[in-house]
């Protein structure tokens, strides 16, 4: 005989609905904040979760010098044999060998008949590509010796992957997937967590007033303190304020207008790059165009709320400056397009953002030509470096990307409205006081006609790329 529930045991329909709703509410809350069965998952799945929960980072490395320059200069002038060169300087020899003599004018004791059983001090096997450096000359030129011998370290304030310090299992999983302490100097060990397979090394420009670092780095970016062990592992590199290289490598410019030695020096030192990101704007630029969004502050070194990411530069980024709202004037410019986006007019009829494909490929091709011309002057396989993919980007936090996207939409809307008026053949309104002031400024610079021509081109032609038919 089948068993039936008694009246007291039976669950009424409305009671069942309430119970299910309560359980669903509990499950919803638990799914948002808690998961108690993680340790019961298979190890392979837990490791995959650790990896997915650790996004790629932009790691901006900073330098700290523990020595005082004046004390350093005094020490090498007054202390015998004070200078010792690190073998890793050989990696930078193509930059310093034309600036630092291999022999000093100071006479040695050997010239007067004295001899020694001790061979002269050498930090590396001397060759034509890596000649000897005169220590006497360095003693007399402390500014050069400072770049080659100063003691310093490198560090980063980039958020540390939290799972590196959550538990032993998560730490081991991330280390096995490539995370390691990196970026040693000639005097200190590595201090920055970095994954050479996924993270991007972000390098700032050197100080404009201090260019001695070029004796090693050979470029505007101070990479003189990096160690070759780390440089050869880096696959993705971002250079601060670097898109001017794209503008000057446009096919309309002849080779005589611009040399590629700066960018080529970076690639030659970081020999195995796969991607080179040329930075146009950062959060500092988003700060200039924001309206009411309040930028928060990072709470601690594990906070990833303002983790940087990138998006490609767009032609639309020229519009906030060319078509500002009535109460606002943007001072932002896109360096790789030129003043008032002058180069875009040369590319009528292209697909959206195809201009950037053209100049990025043009720069890459010129970098290949430069490398091949250098390699041709040496023995096969003696000198070689990879030419990476080149991308012009904005490097920002999520907050910065949101501000930029909003500004793009507003600017495109203003241009679209002007286009509608142009199509309707409406009479233009008189210039406002601010617009009239801006017009007079451009006229004094002799660029008003070019500016107006660009505005007209955007209203009649350029905006078509961003209109969905």
**Domain boundary assignment for the chain:** 67-104+125-150, 153-315+324-398, 407-466
Nearest to 136, CA basis, from 151, 120, 115: 120
Q: For residue 175, is pLDDT > 90? A: yes
Token couple for 132: 């000897």
Residue 392: predicted pLDDT = 95
Q: For residue 6, is pLDDT > 80? A: no
Residue 18: predicted pLDDT = 47
Pairing between strand 200-203 and 236-239? parallel
- The residue-averaged pLDDT of 64-88 equals 89
Residue 12: predicted pLDDT = 41
Residue 383: strand pairing partners:
none
Compute φ and ψ for 206, nearest 5 degrees.
-75, 165
Token couple for 153: 């370290």
- Give the residue carrying structure tokens 């995959």: 48
- Strand, helix or coil for residue 80: coil
| Alpha carbon distances (Å) from 117 to 81, 134, 315 | 17, 20, 69
Token couple for 165: 């310090």
- For 180, the enclosing helix (H) or strand (E) is strand 179-182
Chain mean position to CA 401:
15
Q: Which residue has the higher pLDDT, 101 or 211?
A: 101
Chain mean position to CA 24:
46
Nearest to 237, CA basis, from 52, 63, 61: 61
Q: For residue 434, is pLDDT > 90? A: no
Interatomic CA distance for residues 444 and 441, integer angstroms: 5
How much is the pTM? 0.82
Interatomic CA distance for residues 387 and 374, integer angstroms: 13
- Strand, helix or coil for residue 141: coil
Residue 121: predicted pLDDT = 65
Q: For residue 314, is pLDDT > 90? A: no
For residue 426, name the pLDDT band (cuts at 50, 70, 90).
low
Interatomic CA distance for residues 151 and 163, integer angstroms: 32
**Vertex 149: Cα angle to 148 and 152 (nearest 5):** 110
In 232-348, alpha helices (H): 244-248, 261-269, 283-289, 319-322
Q: Which residue has the higher pLDDT, 273 or 439?
A: 273
Interatomic CA distance for residues 197 and 178, integer angstroms: 7
Q: Which residue has the higher pLDDT, 226 or 244?
A: 226
- The residue-averaged pLDDT of 52-78 equals 90
Nearest to 78, CA basis, from 1, 140, 165, 5: 140
The conformation of residue 380, written as its DSSP 8-state character, comes to T
């Amino acid at each position: 005989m089948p068993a039936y529930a008694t009246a007291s045991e039976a669950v009424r329909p409305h009671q069942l609905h309430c119970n299910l709703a309560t359980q669903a509410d509990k499950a919803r809350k638990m799914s948002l904040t808690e998961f108690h069965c993680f340790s019961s998952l298979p190890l392979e799945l837990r490791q995959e979760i650790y990896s997915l929960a650790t996004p790629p980072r932009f790691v901006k490395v900073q330098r700290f010098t523990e020595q005082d320059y004046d004390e350093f200069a005094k020490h090498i002038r007054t202390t015998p044999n004070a200078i010792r060169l690190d073998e890793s300087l050989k990696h930078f020899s193509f930059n310093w060998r034309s600036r630092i003599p291999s022999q000093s004018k100071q006479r040695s004791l050997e010239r007067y008949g004295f001899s020694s059983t001790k061979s002269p001090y050498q930090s590396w096997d001397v060759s034509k590509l890596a000649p000897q450096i005169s220590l006497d000359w360095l003693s007399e030129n402390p500014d050069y010796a400072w770049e080659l011998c100063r003691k310093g370290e490198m560090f980063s304030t980039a958020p540390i992957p939290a799972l590196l310090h959550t538990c032993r299992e998560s730490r081991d999983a991330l280390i096995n997937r490539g995370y390691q302490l990196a970026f040693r100097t000639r005097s200190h060990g590595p201090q920055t967590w970095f994954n050479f397979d996924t993270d991007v090394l972000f390098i700032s420009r050197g100080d404009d007033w201090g260019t001695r670092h070029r004796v090693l780095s050979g470029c505007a970016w101070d990479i003189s303190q990096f160690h070759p062990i780390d440089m050869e592992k880096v696959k993705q590199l971002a250079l601060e304020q670097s898109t001017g290289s794209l503008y000057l490598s446009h096919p309309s410019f002849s080779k005589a207008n611009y040399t590629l030695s700066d960018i080529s020096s970076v690639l030659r030192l970081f020999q195995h790059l796969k991607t080179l990101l040329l930075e146009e704007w950062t959060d500092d630029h988003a700060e200039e165009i924001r309206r009411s969004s309040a930028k928060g502050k990072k709470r601690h070194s594990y906070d990833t709320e303002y983790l940087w990411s990138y998006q490609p530069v767009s032609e639309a980024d020229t519009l906030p400056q060319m078509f500002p709202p009535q109460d606002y004037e943007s001072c932002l410019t896109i360096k790789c397009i030129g003043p008032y986006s002058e180069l875009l007019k040369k590319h009528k009829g292209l697909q959206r953002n195809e201009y950037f494909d053209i100049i990025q490929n043009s720069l890459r091709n010129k970098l290949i030509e430069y490398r091949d011309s250098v390699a041709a002057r040496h023995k096969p396989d003696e000198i070689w470096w990879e030419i990476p993919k080149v991308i012009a980007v904005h490097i920002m936090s999520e907050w910065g990307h949101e501000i930029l996207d909003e500004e793009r939409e507003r600017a495109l809307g203003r241009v679209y409205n002007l286009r509608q008026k142009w199509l309707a053949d409406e009479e233009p309104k008189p210039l406002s006081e601010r617009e009239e002031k801006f017009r007079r400024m451009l006229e004094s610079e002799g660029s008003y006609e070019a500016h107006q021509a660009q505005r007209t081109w955007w209203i009649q032609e350029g905006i078509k790329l961003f209109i969905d038919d």
